[in-house]
């Protein structure tokens, strides 16, 4: 449906342009509306923590290795740098759901051809797409398959795989499976390398997808599923393998045959073998070099430690053999019938196999005294075989062959990341041997990925190897003057981010009251003494404080959980800690021994963000929102009485808040209520789709910023030079015509420059913050939905230039599959009505040079001319370096007087080079897009 709407919008824009709506020409000077870009002066990366989230799968080619995650994108392993490289950092906030990679595969004939099946039921309109890369993930094409299948890459069973596969005999043939289907089959097939897809009806006739459920639960969109359950609990097609002209499909159902086979291209699917289990579910199918299938089974989709198996199936002889690993007790070997994530083979030697259990709770040790320290890590077990699975040797770290006997595998090693110590390798749905070194295996885990480089040694060593993978969800962050920054995150407390690039985990942990999680919601420091900090648990009433920056002590009690905080120094030198949760503010002057409720005249619905005035600390500013969720009982739409952003001010160090003001209507934007301090009595606040506001005179005056149309969050950092106000950072758009991204202002929000449009990692996510570094101008930190903590740093020159996209520099870009539509146009020009074909992906992208001459625009698709900064690229109305239908829409608005254009945008919009911008230019641009004319400007003959 979404796809159809996009096509309709393109046709509507074309029709409006062709009928000449808004025909009055514009000859007066045009005002600026687009921000300048200095993105080329910035370097973007992630802070080094390593891991912190679930790596759900690994696939290998002959020479390349890729990993996928449940919320943090996909990676390629860089063998030279010995680290993983993020492939999906180009995704913006609208597409953040595609960071959930449900399955992936490599073309068996070409390691550089990669397919990613992506989707998340609660993000990105629950869309499902396939990303295709021909260059090892440097660039991608996007193919939307939502109308056919749906996947939820963060659902139960996401460790199974892979549910997409390329036919090694014909790489144009690809099979792909969904968790659910709104179409005719959950199994779809492409015969043109992924350009187009169709349902495989023979698979659907098996009747496995027999239930109708809502996808997602809170909508009326109905899909067919393998279980009568919500989207989180259905896994649909778990694994697909293609070999020797046959396709094998494993489905996450019980009580019936769940592994089927058919000839490639056939609709005749049959159970693979009556001897395979039906009360367990297939988890993964791998191949050995002899062509045998290595099939594993699990008992449940999550942490189900019930029965499971491993099998070897010979397609040539139809022989099925149980190769489930064994354990030895008192000299007797017995089958270990537990759930298995995978069995993998040496690509050159079918006798050498490695195996991992999945979702088991078995002892792993990091040190010899782990039992004495009560520090056993409980996770999965690992095995190796050198006779094709006839016999197995266990290699679970830190275990002994018998009581007080020799180690069967060394104690776990942290790979230089101390935070991972005493944590288990767990939820291991995949194990793989390195394509370049068959002595080395890799295994996935809920906290990253581990590797072993001496697999076949008598006592192998497994170490943490998640370098480059950043998957933590940071919930708050501080940068302190003269100090290293500190983060707090979901699951794993938080970190000091040291100057040498390492990260040191905060201790004590927040898991004291909730042993299964150490999620931390808030952190704050005292402006008068940055060593004084407080951090607060997300899921329990627990907090810690420090007065020396390193030694943390527990707050004796705390009145709330999931709170945000601020710290003030009182006149007598003591400290006041303020916390907020659920619309209330409390404070303590004795480090949590006693608490008082701050007086407020407004009742708020949200957690309240607080900011201490650094230069006049008696003032504390508080910002949040009120939302009446029951408004619909009395009115069709919420108004400002039901939903509003509220600013409160205290002039007694946070004891009482008054001067409460309604800023604007609350738009349900993701917590856009951080406070960006600028100077004494002056700060900026975000208001989502209502823009942003500058607050002066200690909160008495609130002025809407004309320079901001959308602001999801606002932050601040070091000034450009001493004596200036702090620098502002914004995630949003200065003008409607500007691209969404990260912007910077050094003049209190009067003007903005774009510093990040192409490395957004899916946007600001749960933490929704931009925090400027307080020690280095231009450095800024951003939270994400699951890609760690993004950091941007100035790399050199910052001379502004128009917003452009340079394909010679951009390493990752998304190209939507071309769709063509024939329409009839009746333009008020010398051309008569004509039937034309709009190709929605016709664009012109040109690099920048230092030349200052203008160039014409051509529709050849292979432009070699250059467009220097300040030069004219005819048709590029929105200054993004491309000429496409979005430029036509904006130009039509400008011709109608609905928007104003920046000076350079106006020059580019003059598509018939007559010195004016009007409807004739809009017609010329449309004619260029539909290829009636081949060049811009259109000059009369």
Q: Quickly list DSSP for 113-153.
A: EEEEEEE-TTSGGG-EEEEEESSTTSSEEEEE-TTT-B--T
| Secondary structure (3-state) at 796 | coil
| Mean pLDDT in residue range 166-190 | 99
User: Cis ω on the peptide bond leading into residue 937 (within 30° of 0)?
Assistant: yes
Distance, in Å, from the CA atom of 285 to the CA atom of 269, rounded to the nearest integer, reads: 17
Strands 36-37 and 753-756: parallel
Q: What is the pLDDT of residues 823-872, one digit of tens each?
A: 232 233 323 323 333 233 323 333 333 333 333 454 433 333 334 445 68
What distances in angstroms separate CA 384 from CA 176, 313, 327, 445, 584, one per listed residue?
A: 31, 18, 12, 18, 57
Rg (CA), the chain: 30
Q: What secondary structure letter does DSSP report for 798?
A: -
pLDDT attached to residue 514: 63
Q: Tell me the residue length of the chain.
A: 941
Q: Judging by DSSP bridges, how do beta strands 857-858 and 382-385 pair with one another?
A: unpaired
pLDDT category at 880 given cuts 50, 70, 90 is low
Does residue 101 contact residue 118 with C-beta atoms inside 8 Å?
A: yes
As a whole number of angstroms, the distance between CA 506 and CA 417 comes to 13
In whole angstroms, give the CA distance from residue 863 to residue 935: 12
Which residues pair with residue 77 across a beta bridge?
A: 84
Please spell the DSSP secondary structure of 261-272, one letter per residue. EEETT----EES
CA 932 to each of CA 210, 514, 769, 846: distance values in angstroms, whole numbers, following the listed order: 50, 66, 47, 21
Cβ proximity of 341 and 323 under 8 Å: no
| pLDDT value at residue 261 | 99
Q: What is the mean pLDDT of the chain?
A: 88
CA separation, residue 590 to residues 140, 835, 924 (Å): 56, 78, 72
In this prediction, residue 515 has a pLDDT band, given cuts at 50, 70 and 90, of low
Distance CA 877, CA 886 (A): 8
- Identify the residue with better confidence: 128 or 600: 128
pLDDT level of residue 799 (50, 70, 90 thresholds): very low
- Per the structure block, which two tokens stand in for 843? 């664009």
Q: Is pLDDT above 50 for 123?
A: yes
Write out the two tokens for 49. Answer: 């923590």
pLDDT value for 6: 31
DSSP E strands, 330-368: 332-335, 340-346, 349-357, 362-364
pLDDT, tens digit (0-9, with 9 covering 90-100), for 530-580: 999 999 999 888 999 999 999 999 999 899 888 899 999 999 999 999 999
**DSSP β-bridge partners for residue 365:** none
pLDDT of residue 7: 26
Report which DSSP code applies to 413: B
**pLDDT above 50 for 806:** no
Strand order in the sheet with 174-177: 164-166, 174-177, 187-190, 198-199
Q: Are 428 and 443 in contact (CB under 8 A)?
A: yes
Each residue of 484-509: pLDDT tens digit? 999 999 999 999 999 999 999 999 99
Q: pLDDT confidence of 902, banded at 50, 70, 90?
A: confident
Phi, psi of 908 (to 5 degrees): -65, -30
- Asked whether residue 302 carries a pLDDT value surpassing 50, the answer given is yes
For 83-92, 258-267, 716-725, 875-884, which range has the lowest pLDDT when averaged over its residues? 875-884
Instruction: Encode burial over 223-248: b for 16+ CB neighbours within 10 A, e otherwise.
Output: bbbbbeebbbbbbbbbbbbbbeebbb
52-272 has the same fold as 2-34+823-936: no
Does the pLDDT at position 809 exceed 50?
Answer: no
Is pLDDT larger for residue 659 or for residue 441?
441
- pLDDT exceeds cutoff 50 at 3: no
> pLDDT tier at 517 (50, 70, 90 boundaries)?
confident
Encode pLDDT of 72-91 as tens digits.
Answer: 999 999 999 999 999 999 99
**C-alpha 186: how far from chain center:** 25
pLDDT band for position 516 (cuts 50, 70, 90): low
Least confident span in 149-158, 233-242, 442-451, 908-917 = 908-917
Q: Which CATH class is domain 474-794?
A: mainly beta
> Rounded CA gap, 236 and 727, in Å?
49
Give the three-state DSSP class for 617.
Answer: coil
d(CA 115, CA 473): 26
Residue 879 confidence (pLDDT) above 90: no
Query: For 202, phi and psi rounded to 5 degrees?
Result: -60, -35
Cα 111 from Cα 124, distance rounded (Å): 29
Domain boundaries 52-272, CATH class: mainly beta
**DSSP one-letter string for 882-932:** --SHHHHHHHHHHHTTSS---HHHHHHH-TT-SS-BSHHHHHHHHHHHTTS
Strand, helix or coil for residue 204: helix
90-99: average pLDDT: 98
H-assigned helices in 452-573: none
Cβ within 8 Å of residue 315, ≥6 positions away: 243, 244, 246, 291, 292, 293
Q: Residues 63, 61, 71, 429: what is their CA dihedral angle, to the nearest 10 degrees?
A: -120
Residue of 33, 25, 32 lying closest to 915 (CA atoms): 25
Q: What is the number of other CB atoms lying within 10 angstroms of the CB of residue 256?
A: 12
Look at residue 536 and give its three-state secondary structure.
Answer: strand
pTM: 0.83
pLDDT at 904: 82
* Residue 275 pLDDT exceeds 90: yes
CATH superfamily of 2-34+823-936: Dockerin domain (1.10.1330.10)
Quick one: average pLDDT of 204-225?
Answer: 98
Question: Could you state, in order of their start, the residue ranges of all structural domains in the chain?
Answer: 2-34+823-936, 52-272, 288-435, 474-794
Q: What is the pLDDT of residue 32?
A: 35
- pLDDT of 893 reads 66
Residue 138, exposed/middle/buried by CB under 10 A (0-12, 13-18, 19+)?
middle
Q: Measured between alpha carbons, how far is 679 from 683 in angstroms, rounded to an integer? A: 7
Q: What confidence score (pLDDT) does residue 901 get?
A: 82
Nearest to 688 by CA among 629, 641, 623, 633: 623
- Dihedral angle computed from the Cα positions of residues 492, 494, 497 and 498, in that order, rounded to the nearest 10 degrees: -80
- The DSSP letter of residue 7 is H
User: In this prediction, what percent of the chain has a pLDDT beyond 90?
Assistant: 75
Determine the average pLDDT of the residues in 748-756: 98
Query: Does position 427 have pLDDT exceeding 70, yes or no?
Result: yes
Looking up tokens 């919930």 gives 475
The span from the CA of 515 to the CA of 354, in Å, is: 32
Q: How far apart are the first and last CA of the chain?
A: 44
What whole-number distance in Å separates Cα of residue 442 and Cα of residue 423?
Answer: 17
């Amino acid at each position: 449906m979404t796809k159809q709407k996009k096509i309709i919008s393109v046709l509507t824009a074309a029709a409006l342009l062709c009928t000449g709506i808004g025909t009055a020409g514009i000859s007066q000077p045009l005002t600026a509306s687009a921000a300048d870009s200095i993105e080329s002066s910035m370097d973007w990366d992630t802070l080094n923590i390593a891991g912190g989230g679930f790596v759900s799968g690994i696939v290998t080619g002959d020479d390349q290795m890729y990993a996928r995650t449940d919320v943090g994108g996909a990676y390629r392993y860089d063998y030279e740098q010995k680290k993983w490289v993020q492939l999906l950092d180009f995704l913006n906030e609208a597409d953040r759901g595609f960071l959930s990679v449900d399955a992936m595969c490599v073309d068996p004939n070409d390691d550089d051809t990669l397919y990613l099946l992506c989707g998340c039921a609660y993000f990105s309109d629950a869309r499902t797409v396939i990303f295709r890369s021909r260059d090892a993930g440097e660039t991608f094409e996007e193919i939307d398959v939502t109308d056919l299948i749906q996947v939820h890459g963060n659902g139960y069973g996401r460790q199974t795989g892979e549910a997409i596969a390329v036919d090694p005999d014909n790489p144009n043939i690809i099979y792909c499976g969904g968790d659910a289907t709104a179409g005719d089959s959950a199994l779809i097939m492409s015969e043109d390398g992924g350009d187009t897809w169709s349902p495989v009806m023979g698979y659907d006739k098996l009747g496995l997808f027999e239930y109708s459920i809502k996808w997602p639960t809170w909508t009326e969109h109905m899909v067919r599923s393998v279980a009568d359950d919500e989207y989180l609990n259905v896994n649909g097609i778990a694994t697909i393998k293609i070999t020797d002209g046959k396709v094998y499909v494993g489905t996450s159902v019980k009580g019936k045959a769940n592994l089927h086979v058919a000839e490639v291209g056939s609709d005749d699917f049959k159970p693979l073998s009556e001897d395979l289990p039906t009360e367990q579910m297939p988890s993964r199918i791998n191949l050995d070099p002899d062509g045998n299938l290595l099939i594993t089974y699990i008992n449940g989709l999550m942490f189900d430690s019930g029965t499971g198996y491993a099998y070897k199936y010979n397609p040539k002889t139809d022989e099925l053999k149980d190769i489930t690993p064994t354990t030895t007790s008192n000299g007797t070997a017995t089958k270990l019938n537990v759930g298995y994530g995978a069995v993998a083979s040496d690509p050159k030697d079918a006798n050498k196999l490695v195996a991992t259990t999945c979702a088991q709770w078995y002892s792993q040790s990091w040190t010899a005294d782990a039992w004495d320290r009560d520090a056993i890590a409980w996770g999965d077990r690992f095995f190796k075989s050198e006779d094709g699975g006839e016999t197995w040797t266990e290699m679970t770290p830190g275990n002994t062959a018998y009581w007080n006997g020799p180690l069967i595998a060394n104690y776990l090693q942290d790979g230089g990341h101390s935070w991972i110590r005493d944590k288990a390798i767990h939820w291991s749905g995949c194990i793989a041997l390195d394509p370049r070194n068959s002595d080395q295996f890799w295994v996935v885990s809920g906290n990253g990925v581990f590797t072993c480089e001496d697999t076949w040694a008598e006592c192998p060593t497994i170490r943490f190897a998640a370098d480059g993978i950043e998957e933590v969800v940071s919930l708050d962050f501080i940068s302190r003057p003269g100090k290293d920054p500190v983060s707090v995150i979901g699951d794993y407390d938080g970190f000091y981010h040291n100057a040498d690039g390492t990260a040191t985990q905060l201790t004590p942990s927040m898991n004291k009251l909730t042993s299964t999680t150490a999620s931390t919601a808030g952190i704050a420091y005292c402006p008068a003494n940055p060593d004084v900090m407080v951090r607060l648990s997300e899921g329990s009433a627990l907090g810690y404080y420090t007065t020396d920056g390193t030694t943390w002590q527990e707050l004796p009690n705390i009145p709330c959980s999931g709170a945000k905080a601020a710290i003030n120094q009182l006149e007598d030198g003591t400290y006041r800690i303020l916390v907020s949760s659920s619309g209330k503010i409390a404070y303590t002057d004795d480090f949590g021994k006693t608490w008082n409720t701050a007086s407020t005249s407004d009742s708020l619905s949200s957690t309240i963000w607080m900011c201490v005035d650094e230069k006049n600390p008696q003032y504390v500013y508080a910002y949040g929102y009120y939302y009446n969720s029951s408004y619909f009982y009395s009115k069709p739409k919420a108004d400002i009485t039901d939903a509003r952003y509220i600013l409160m001010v205290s002039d007694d160090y946070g004891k009482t808040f008054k001067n409460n003001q309604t800023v604007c209507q609350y738009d349900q934007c993701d917590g856009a209520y951080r406070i960006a301090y600028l100077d004494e009595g002056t700060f900026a606040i975000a208001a989502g789709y209502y823009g942003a506001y500058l607050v002066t005179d200690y909160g008495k005056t609130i002025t809407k910023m004309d320079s901001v149309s959308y602001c999801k969050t606002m932050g601040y950092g070091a000034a450009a030079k001493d004596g200036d106000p702090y620098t502002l950072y914004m995630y949003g758009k200065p003008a409607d015509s500007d691209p969404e991204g990260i912007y910077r202002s050094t003049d209190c929000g009067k003007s903005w420059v774009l510093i990040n449009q192409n490395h957004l990692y899916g946007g600001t996510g749960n933490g929704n913050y931009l925090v400027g570094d307080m020690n280095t101008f231009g450095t800024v930190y951003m939270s994400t939905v699951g890609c760690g903590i993004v950091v941007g740093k100035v790399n050199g020159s910052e001379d502004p230039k128009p917003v452009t996209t340079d394909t010679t520099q951009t390493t990752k870009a998304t190209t939507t599959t071309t769709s063509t539509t024939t329409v009839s146009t009746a333009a008020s020009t010398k051309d008569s009505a004509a039937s034309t074909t709009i190709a929605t992906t016709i664009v012109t992208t040109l690099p920048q040079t230092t030349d200052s001459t203008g160039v014409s625009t051509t529709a050849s698709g292979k432009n070699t001319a250059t467009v220097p900064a300040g030069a004219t690229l005819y048709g590029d109305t929105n200054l993004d370096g491309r000429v496409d239908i979005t430029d036509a829409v904006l130009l039509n608005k400008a011709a109608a007087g609905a928007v104003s254009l920046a000076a350079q945008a106006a020059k580019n919009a003059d598509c018939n080079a007559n010195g004016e911008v009007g409807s004739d230019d809009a017609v010329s641009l449309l004619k260029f897009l539909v290829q009636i004319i081949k060049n811009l400007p259109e000059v009369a003959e």
